[in-house]
Structure formats: structure tokens, C-alpha cells
Amino acid sequence: MTLLSFDWAFIIEKLIMIAIIVFASLGIALYTTFGERKVAAILQDRPGPSRAGPFGLLQPLADGLKLISKEEIIPSHANKWLFILGPGLAMTASLMTCAVIPWSTAVDVFGRHVELQVADVNIGLLYVFAVVSMGVYGIMIGGWASNNKFSLMSALRAASQAISYELAMGLALIALLMTTGSLSLKTIVEQQVSGNWWNIVYQPLGFLLFFVAALAECNRTPFDLPEAENELNFGYHQEYSSMKLGFYLFAEYINMIMSSAIMASMYFGGYDLPFFNEASVAPNIAALIGVGTLLIKIVLFIFLFMWIRWTIPRFRYDQLMNLGWKTMIPLALFNLLLTGAVILAKL
Amino acid sequence: MQPLTNKAQAVNRAPMSFWERLYLINIIKGMFITFSHMFKKQPTIRYPEQKREFSHVFRGLHVLNRDEAGRERCTACGLCAVACPAEAITMEAAERQDGEENLYREEKYAAKYEINMLRCIFCGLCEEACPKDAIYLSETFAPANYTRKGFIYGKEDLLIPNPTTEAAAFAAAKGVEA
């Protein structure tokens, strides 16, 4: 019986939270695709999708319906198991990231103290890195299993790109960890809420490096070489159709949302609304305001991602590698040294 | 060769400065350019609801004209078919019988009159060739069709509505006088 003596309420609470977060991320991702098209259109003096529903708001549903009802094709030369595993892995990896993001301060539900975070792991950031680097397996396996030259090329590009930029990302992060002294995202956000300044003030170079690396990790323009429509015919998802393709596209948008959430939490105070004292209102309302603040920050980041995508052309492959190895990593190391020197000088 | 305009500029091959090589500032400049486009007027015309005005000299689909009494003007002389550079027009003539004076203006009329809209180049030479003012090009264009056959327009597609019985439709088909 001891094995069954769980805190059932705790498990149910976490399951509900996981369900809400997963479905919310899927919903947001759905509308991020719509936002992408709208933003692209407006930046190019076009109205964008406007036919389905008022202002075209039902467009993502129509797209989803189309993807689901399309014929599912598995190429005869493809490795069937890996071919199916690829999109699933990409999706799982991008959804797993949201487990450690603190959405807001705790709320009281029926007298129960509920933290708005699936898991406050003390190695939260390390976990994020582990999961993000797993995301590239989805692309790698998909590209390999398609048994297609273009897909394989794109998978190779994705893998080398992810490896190159993860280094710079990690180094930029270590500098942040030196100032915060914690790997837990909750602790990092709490420091920014209670302290006066957001981490961006202490780590502007670190944030810039992290942001560029995040663009590369999400395969967003100007680092969208794995997709490269005009060189690789859409790269690793060339052979995919129906909802498997949908999973890949979705995974990309969820990655975007998650990296926005992580950047907002690490450098921009997470759910911290500036010049507002959370203690002055009821805890539940404060939590709601926190969630809204974080969401607004995420939306702003996503807009920035899109804005960059519709401004800058794609890098050439050698430029990508040059930037990653010869610029970003030395800069990240310099940032690390600088941070260390400042911390030492302050002691 | 002498430059024709004063707009030519020599290509700047000077090595990039540090700030240019940094690329970041240029990215931000570019982003402001794209951002400024958010507030520009969109030139889009939402087609089925809004339509672009055609010019008065636009040459679109053909119309076979009627006179004020609603009689067909065409006398099947074949001048339009001769004038047609794309050989899109075919017709068969027939003689007007007694009692058909209210239908056809002349003693001879076109029993069959077909224009292949896939061949037609909308040059308007038929309009110029017609001695009876029976054919002219309107301000609409041929709508899409599923078959090639659907683009061969017969008399029932081309004839203008009868001004005596369907005055409103006639006026609409006639359009604006240029």
C-alpha cells in the first residue's frame, strides 16, 4: 500500500497543469502560424489571409483541417519507423521544454497552494538545453529516414548548425548563471522580480548572443538553412505530407514560443510587470497579471522573430559557420571573462 | 557609350568598415524599413467584392448588338471573320423569312455566330470591320471555364439583351459609352 500512497491531489494538479500548458501551447502555435502570415503580409503591404472568418481568424483551423484530411504518404524507400518517429520526436522535444517555465506566481485554488509551473527543477536550464538539443534528432531522423538527398543534406546542415550555435548559447548562459547563481528558472525570475533590474541590464551582450543562437536553434531566418526552400526544396520535410508535415511545422512554432518564454524569463523578468507591486493585490489576481505579462513578452518576442524573418535574407552556409565559430563563441567567451572580472571586482 | 541619364553610380568597392562588417546596425536599419511598411497604404483590391475600373478603351468580350427596336443588326456579311487575325470567328448565314422582320434588321442574318475566346486576341478589328455596327467589344473579360468547349461563345452568349423587353439588362450590357 505504501507504493500507492501518493499525494493524489498533487498528481492531479500537475496533470491538469500539463494538459492546460500543452493545449495552450498548441493553440498559441496554431495562431502563431496565422500571425506569421499576417505579419509577413503587413510588412509587405498586403492584407494577408482575410477570407476565413472575420479578419481571416479561422484560417489556422482551415489549415489544420487541410493538413489532417490530406493523404498520408510514406515513400517506398523510406525507413518507415524512423520516418514516423521523426516528426513525433520533434514535437515531443519542443513540447517538453515548457515543463520548467514558471508562468506566474502561485495561485490559491480551493485553499490549495498551486505553483504555476509544471516542475521547478533545480537544474531547469540544463534540462532546457538537454531537451532542445534533442529536438535536432527529430530533424536528423526525419531527414535520414526520407532517403532523399535534399532531406539528408538539410538534416546534416541542421545538425551542424545546432551543434555550432548550442556552444555559443551555452557560453552566453554560463555568464548569466554567474550573475544569478542558480539554474532554476523560478529562482532566476524571482531574483528579477524582487531585485530592481532585469538581467538584460547586467547581460546585454549575453542576451544578444543568446538571441542570435536561439534564432539558429529554432531554424528561423536568417538561419533557416535546414529548410532553405530555394536550395533544398524545403529540406527535411520534403517527403512529409499530411499531419506529419504539420507536426514539423508546429514543432518549429512551439520552439519559437518556448525560446521566447525562456528568453523572457531569463533576461526580461519573466512574469514581472515593471513598476507594479504584486503584493498590493490578491495573490490570484497578481498571478493572472503575471501570466498576462509573460504572454505579452512572449508575443513581443515572437513578433521580433517574425520581423527579422521578413527583413533579413538567409545566410550562406560558410557565413553561418563563420559567425557561429569565429564570432559568437569568442564573443561569448569574452562576455564570460568580463562577467567574471566584474564579479571579482565587486567582491 | 555615353551615359543616357545621370542616375548611374559607380559601384563602391571600398572594403567594408568595422561597423558595416558588424552587420548588426544594418540589420536594425533594414528592420526599421520593413517596420515603416506596416503603416503604408495597401494597394490590394479585394477582387470579387471590389473591382478595378477598366479603361474606356478596354477591349473585352464581344457583344452582338441590336437596334432600338430589338432587331439583330448582324447581316452575316463575314467581314469580321475576314478581318479577324486570329481566325476566331465562324458564322453561318440564313435568309430572313416573312414574319421575322421584328427579329432581324436585314434580309440576311447570322443563323450561327461563334467566337472562340481562346483564339481571340481582343484586337477589336472585327469591331472596326463591321459595316452594320453589329459587333463591339465590351468592358468584361471571359470568365474561367472547365473545358475548351466552354470558351466557344455562340449567339446566345454574345447577343445583347433585347432593349424593348429587357431594358435594364440591355443598359447594363451596353455599359458606359466611350
Per cent of chain A over pLDDT 90 is 4
Q: Using the beta-carbon criterion (under 8 Å), do A43 and B27 form an inter-chain contact?
A: no
DSSP state of A72: P
Quick one: pLDDT at residue A2?
Answer: 60
Interface test with A, best of B37, B39, B47, B50 (most A CBs within 10 A): B37
Quick one: pLDDT at residue B175?
Answer: 64
* Nearest C-alpha neighbor of B61 from the set B118, B119, B122, B114: B122
Cβ neighbors of A249 (< 8 A, separation 6 or more) are A33, A237
Cβ neighbors of B84 (< 8 A, separation 6 or more) are B120, B125, B126
For B43, which of A45, A308, A311 is closest by C-beta distance? A45
Closest-approach residue (CA) in chain B for A327:
B22
For B38, which of A42, A47, A312 is closest by C-beta distance? A42
Quick one: pLDDT at residue A334?
Answer: 92
Vertex A258: Cα angle to A257 and A261 (nearest 5)? 90
**A126 pLDDT exceeds 80?**
yes
DSSP helix/strand/coil, A221? coil
C-alpha cell read off for A82: 524512423
Cβ neighbors of B92 (< 8 A, separation 6 or more) are B76, B110, B111, B112, B113
**A1 pLDDT exceeds 70?**
no
**A75 pLDDT exceeds 90?**
no
C-alpha cell read off for A146: 526520407
Tell me the pLDDT of chain B averaged across its residues: 85
**A246 pLDDT exceeds 90?**
no
pTM beyond cutoff 0.80? no
Band (A227; pLDDT cuts 50, 70, 90): confident
For B44, which of A43, A46, A308 is closest by C-beta distance? A46
DSSP helix/strand/coil, A109? strand
Tell me the pLDDT of chain A averaged across its residues: 84
Shortest distance between the Cα of B32 and any Cα of chain A, in A, equals 9
Interface test with B, best of A39, A221, A312, A322 (most B CBs within 10 A): A312
Model confidence pLDDT, tens digit, residues B131-154: 988 898 888 877 888 999 989 999
Average pLDDT over residues B51-64: 85
Band (A83; pLDDT cuts 50, 70, 90): confident
Cα–Cα dist B20/B34, whole Å: 19
* Count of beta carbons in the 10 Å neighbourhood of residue A30: 17
Q: Please, which residues bridge with residue B93 across strands? A: B110
Sheet containing B89-95, strands listed edge to edge, beginning at the edge strand earlier in sequence: B89-95, B108-116, B152-153
Average pLDDT over residues A221-247: 77
| Residue A294 burial (C-beta neighbours within 10 Å; 0-12, 13-18, 19+) | buried
Cα–Cα dist A327/A314, whole Å: 17
**B7 pLDDT exceeds 90?**
no
Mean pLDDT check: name the lowest of A110-114, A125-129, A168-172: A110-114
Shortest distance between the Cα of B39 and any Cα of chain A, in A, equals 8
A23 touches chain B (CB under 8 A): no
C-alpha cell read off for B129: 470591320
A-to-B residue pairs, Cβ atoms closer than 8 angstroms: 32
For A47, which of B30, B33, B44 is closest by C-beta distance? B44
For B38, which of A43, A308, A312 is closest by C-beta distance? A43
Shortest distance between the Cα of A209 and any Cα of chain B, in A, equals 12
**A54 pLDDT exceeds 50?**
yes
Band (A3; pLDDT cuts 50, 70, 90): low
Packing angle, helices A185-194 and A124-145, rounded to 10 = 130
Chain A hits for B46, Cβ within 8 Å: 47, 50
For A311, which of B30, B41, B43 is closest by C-beta distance? B30
DSSP codes, A262-328: HHHHHHS-TTPPTT--GGGS-HHHHHHHHHHHHHHHHHHHHHHHHHHHTTSPPPPHHHHHIIIIIII
Average pLDDT over residues A253-263: 88
Packing angle, helices A242-267 and A204-217, rounded to 10 = 170
ipTM of the complex: 0.73
Is residue A318 within 8 A of residue A147, CB to CB? The reply is no
Residues 283-312 (A) with a CB less than 8 A from some CB of B:
307-308, 310-312
Closest-approach residue (CA) in chain B for A315:
B23
Per cent of chain B over pLDDT 90 is 17
Chain B hits for A50, Cβ within 8 Å: 46
Interface of chain B toward chain A, CB-CB under 8 angstroms: 27, 30-31, 33-35, 37-38, 40-44, 46
Chain A hits for B30, Cβ within 8 Å: 311-312
Average pLDDT over residues A221-241: 75
Q: Which tops the pLDDT comparison, A195 or A320?
A: A320
Question: What's the total number of domains in chain A?
Answer: 1
Domain extent for A61: 2-346
3-state secondary structure chain B: CCCCCCCCCCCCCCCCCHHHHHCHHHHHHHHHHHHHHHHCCCCCCCCCCCCCCCCCCCCCCEEECECCCCCECCCCCCHHHHHCCCCCEEEEEEECCCCCCCCECCCEEEEEEEEECCCCCCCCHHHHHCCCCCEEECCCCCCCCCCCHHHEECHHHHECCCCCCCHHHHHHHHCCCC
Interface test with A, best of B16, B21, B23 (most A CBs within 10 A): B23
Model confidence pLDDT, tens digit, residues A162-188: 888 888 888 888 888 888 888 888 888
Quick one: pLDDT at residue A265?
Answer: 87
Contacts of the segment A317-326: beta carbons below 8 A, 24+ positions apart? A317/A157, A317/A225, A320/A161, A320/A164, A320/A216, A320/A223, A320/A225, A321/A160, A321/A164, A323/A212, A324/A161, A324/A164, A324/A165, A324/A167, A324/A168, A324/A216, A325/A164
Sign of the four-CA dihedral A40, A41, A42, A44: positive
DSSP helix/strand/coil, A114? strand
| Residue B127 burial (C-beta neighbours within 10 Å; 0-12, 13-18, 19+) | middle
Band (B178; pLDDT cuts 50, 70, 90): very low
Domains of chain B, by residue range, sit at 62-174
Q: Using the beta-carbon criterion (under 8 Å), do B27 and A44 form an inter-chain contact?
A: no
Fold of the domain spanning B62-174: Alpha-Beta Plaits (3.30.70)
Chain A hits for B27, Cβ within 8 Å: 308, 311-312
**B170 pLDDT exceeds 80?**
no
Sign of the four-CA dihedral A66, A72, A77, A79: positive
